[in-house]
Amino acid sequence: MVVAPDKFKGSVSAAVAATALAEGLRSVSSLPVVQFPIADGGEGTVDMLMTAGFSPITCAAVDPLGRPVKVVYARSGRTAVIEAAAACGLALLGGRAPNRTTARISTTLGVGMAVRDALSHGVDRVVLGVGGSATTDGGAGLLVGLGARLLDEHGDPVYPSGADLPNIHRIDLNGIDQRLYDTDLVVACDVDNPLTGPDGAAHVYGRQKGAGPDTVRSFDRALEHWADVVTAHTGQDRRGTPGMGAAGGIAFAMAELLGARVTPGIDLLLELGGFPDLLDGAALVIVGEGSLDEQSLRGKGPVGVARHAHARGVPVVAVAGRSTVRAEEALSAGIDSVYTLAELEADEMASMRDAVALLNIVGATIARDRLGDLGSRHP
């Protein structure tokens, strides 16, 4: 059996969820259980790959507000995997943030610094997992962290924040790290939002980053201006391409100016982590996350895992804090059945608080329901 949940947001990490479910399974079944906590590019991505054998590397960078921060990323051979959120994530804001001020001044500068550090370790493929960012700077900060200069109409440098994007009139890439052009750059993301417009980075994600309605609208205009500047530099316009709005526009800057590939995070990370090999002979795969909903069905981690398992003929069940997915929708996504913590504890706060105990119970229930006498500890 393979236990491969994502995090239960606000409650337990993917690793804790996997352990709790595995303990429940082992209490009923003697079948081998492999724990494979997952992430799809956001928080937990580096932990996932280190569990799969990658080595940690620590570098100095800055957080979204420009303060010093240590970033840990994963490396195996000539491949490095970096979580953007480790340098520009909401969790780094602290205090009463996010708020309107942090939304306006947050930058991805530290992400560029981390990518540059990875290049110094001899890698020729850098995978940037995006998700959970505090930024809406269109990836401008990342470019500056890599050596680019963003200039105003007078030729003076512009600070690379979302609020300052309208001041940028020209991009100077002469100082950018030349090793980038010999590197396979990959953006791993789980969203399909364009950079701008009603489904873009500002309108869809701005409020969760502290932006009020007026700031959201100003951000969208700022990103439109930034896209105009980038288009003038490259001669192409990809602001409307799905995925360009990931992490406040990091994907846009990397794809347009650095030639990065943008790919669904979960598929790439499962490959890097060796997940397909775990499916050989597996009796069951268990996926999970805090809320199984419409957004999950658009390709988030658990559904990506289910798709791979289903293609190999391995049955899949999902565990969620709550689920709004209909049975037929789950089946279409490769999930045979769904178990929720809400069935055991209706109070959401209590369910989140007692998630480990509830996941343990659900693991035991799944073993009884799905495995029958196969490997049963109780003949």
Residue 367: CATH number of its domain:
3.40.50.10350
Beta-carbon neighbour count of residue 307 at 10 Å? 17
Is 274 contained in some domain? no
Asked if 198 and 93 sit in the same domain, the reply is yes
Q: Which CATH number fits the domain that encloses residue 194? A: 3.90.1510.10
C-alpha angle 116-304-38 in degrees, rounded to nearest 5: 55
Residues 115 and 165 placed together within one structural domain of the fold:
yes
What is the predicted pLDDT for the residue at 372?
Answer: 64
Q: Are strands 149-151 and 68-76 parallel, antiparallel or unpaired?
A: unpaired
Domain boundary among 232, 265, 298: 265
Both 27 and 49 in one domain: the answer is no
Residue 34 and residue 284: Cα distance in Å, rounded? 11
Domain that includes residue 172, residue range: 45-265
**Considering only CA atoms, which of 102, 130, 113 is closest in space to residue 70?**
113
In DSSP terms, which residues pair with 56 in a beta bridge? 74
What pLDDT does residue 189 have? 86
**Cα–Cα nearest to 143, from 117, 171, 170:** 171
Tell me the sheet residues that pair with 319.
288, 339
Residues 121-161: tens digit of each pLDDT: 999 999 999 988 999 999 999 999 999 999 999 999 999 99
Contacts of 54 (CB under 8 A, 6+ apart): 46, 74, 75, 76, 81, 272
Residue 202 near residue 159 (C-beta atoms within 8 A): no
Is-contact 245 204, C-beta < 8 A? Answer: yes
Long-range contacts of 257-262 (CB under 8 A, 24+ apart): 257/143, 257/148, 257/171, 257/173, 257/230, 257/233, 258/146, 258/180, 258/185, 259/181, 259/185, 260/128, 260/185, 260/186, 260/187, 261/184, 261/185, 261/186, 261/187, 262/186, 262/187, 262/189
Same domain, 67 and 188: yes
> Quick one: DSSP state of residue 197?
S
Domain end: 265, 291, 307, which one?
265
33/165 Cα distance (integer angstroms):
50
- What pLDDT sits at residue 379? 38
**pLDDT for the residue 320:** 96
Over the chain, what is the mean pLDDT?
93
- Give domain status of residue 378, yes or no: no
Do 207 and 167 fall within a single domain?
yes
Task: Give 236-247 pLDDT, tens digit per residue.
Answer: 999 999 999 999
**Residue segments in the chain with a per-residue pLDDT below the cut of 70:** 299, 372-379
Residues 293 and 238 in one domain: no
129 and 214 in a common domain: yes
Q: Which of 210, 236, 265 is the last residue of a domain?
A: 265
Minimal CA–CA distance to 265: which of 49, 70, 69, 9? 49
What is the model's pLDDT at position 375?
A: 54
Q: What is the 3-state secondary structure (H, E, C) of 229-278?
A: HHHHHHCCCCCCCCCCCHHHHHHHHHHHHHCCEEEEHHHHHHHHHCHHHH
Flag whether 168 is in a domain: yes
* 138 & 217 share domain: yes
Question: Cα–Cα distance between 124 and 77 in angstroms, integer?
Answer: 9
The answer on 106 and 216 residing in a single domain is yes
Distance CA 351, CA 84 (A): 30
Let me know if residue 68 belongs to a domain: yes
Looking at the structure, tell me whether residues 155 and 241 fall in a common domain: yes
Token reading at 123: 């890698």
Q: Is 106 exposed, middle or buried, given 0-12, 13-18 or 19+ CB atoms closer than 10 A?
A: buried
Q: Are residues 215 and 287 in the same domain?
A: no
Long-range contacts of 57-62 (CB under 8 A, 24+ apart): 57/117, 57/118, 57/121, 59/113, 59/114, 59/117, 59/118, 60/113, 60/117, 61/87, 61/109, 61/110, 61/111, 61/113, 61/114, 61/117, 61/145, 62/87, 62/109, 62/110, 62/113
57: nearest Cα among 72, 77, 43, 76: 72
Does the residue 379 lie in any domain?
A: no
Structural domain count, the chain: 2
Q: Are residues 301 and 355 in the same domain?
A: yes
